[in-house]
Amino acid sequence: MVLGFTPLTAFAGQGLPCETPLMLGGAQASAPVEKVHQLVAMPGAFGGDVTCVLDAESGQVEQYWAEFLPKTASTREHVLYQDGKISYFLGFLAADGPTKEVVACTQRTGGGLACRVDLAAGEGLLLARFFGPDLAFKGVRVMALPENGVVSPTVWSRISGKVADGTAQLEMDLALNGSETRWPLTRQEESRPGHPVMGISGESAAAFMQKIYTGAPEVVLETRVTTQNGEQFITTTARHRVTAGNLSYLIDKLAKVEHLMVTGFEKSKDMKF
């Protein structure tokens, strides 16, 4: 049986007024709303301020909801509630630039869910968890996107061209601080020239997930790029560290979003965290 979301259109049309919306993408208050997103869960689950959004970025005016969490001394955070999707955004006050999506959970075509967390807080180290139409856990993937910042942008700007033209060899490993266990990442089918995607799946990914869910140690992503200069091989190494505290924080947000996504399903009791 393929499960669908409990209709929550009443939340959008009646329970949540849209009198003073946040305008994005050039949307105008006078323009008719062409699409009202049906909500997966009632906004406000994180204890923040809920606001209606009118967004014209897609070429049509769409209405959905955002929840802005109280600012802390170091972060800015908000949640978007859209058709078949809840996404969590995080930004650090000490860093320039906008907030980045760090958690997202989406309804899959044919039923079930695909949920992911960026362990590098928006810089491209993704742990994705998959659930079937009956909400039984189906598997996990881990993917690293070097160009997104998980490899130092300064380092990547120097070596990415050589990786793209095949004159340099790219290797990436995941490790846990204090452990000799390593998980070598391999090039994934989503890779394109100049845009590598490295990852693991199956039992290796499940073993990595088990380690970080039960112990939440510091995670280290090591990147090595080897080039040849005559008879000499030169290896450039970069490491991205995810502290235990940040890891626990992000996994907690993933669990919360996953839970919200199944509240409208008939068999939410079958969800496994």
Instruction: Specify the pLDDT at position 11.
Output: 43
Q: Are residues 200 and 222 in the same domain?
A: yes
- Domain assignment present for 2: no
Give me the residues of the chain with pLDDT under 50, please.
1-14, 266-273
Query: Does residue 135 share a domain with residue 161?
Result: no
User: Measured between alpha carbons, how far is 136 from 147 in angstroms, rounded to an integer?
Assistant: 33
1 is a domain residue: no
**How many domains, the chain?**
2
* Whole-number pLDDT of residue 176: 92
Residues 26 and 38 in one domain: yes
Do residues 251 and 134 share a domain?
A: yes
Nearest to 242 by CA among 144, 139, 114, 96: 144
CA-to-CA distance for 190 and 223, rounded, in angstroms?
19
Strands 125-131 and 100-107 turn out to be unpaired
**pLDDT score for 29:** 82
133 and 252 share one domain? yes
Q: Are residues 254 and 130 in the same domain?
A: yes
pLDDT in tens, 117-175: 999 999 999 999 999 988 889 999 999 999 999 998 988 998 899 999 989 999 999 99
Same domain flag for 151 and 235: yes
Token couple for 247: 């890891």
- Here the CATH number for the domain that contains residue 182 is 2.60.40
Q: Are residues 186 and 113 in the same domain?
A: no
Taking Cα atoms as reference points, which of 202, 169, 200 lies closest to residue 183? 200
- Answer yes or no: do 63 and 101 share one domain: yes
Quick one: 237 and 251 in the same domain?
no
pTM of the model: 0.87
Task: Look up the domain containing 45 and give its range.
Answer: 9-145+245-270
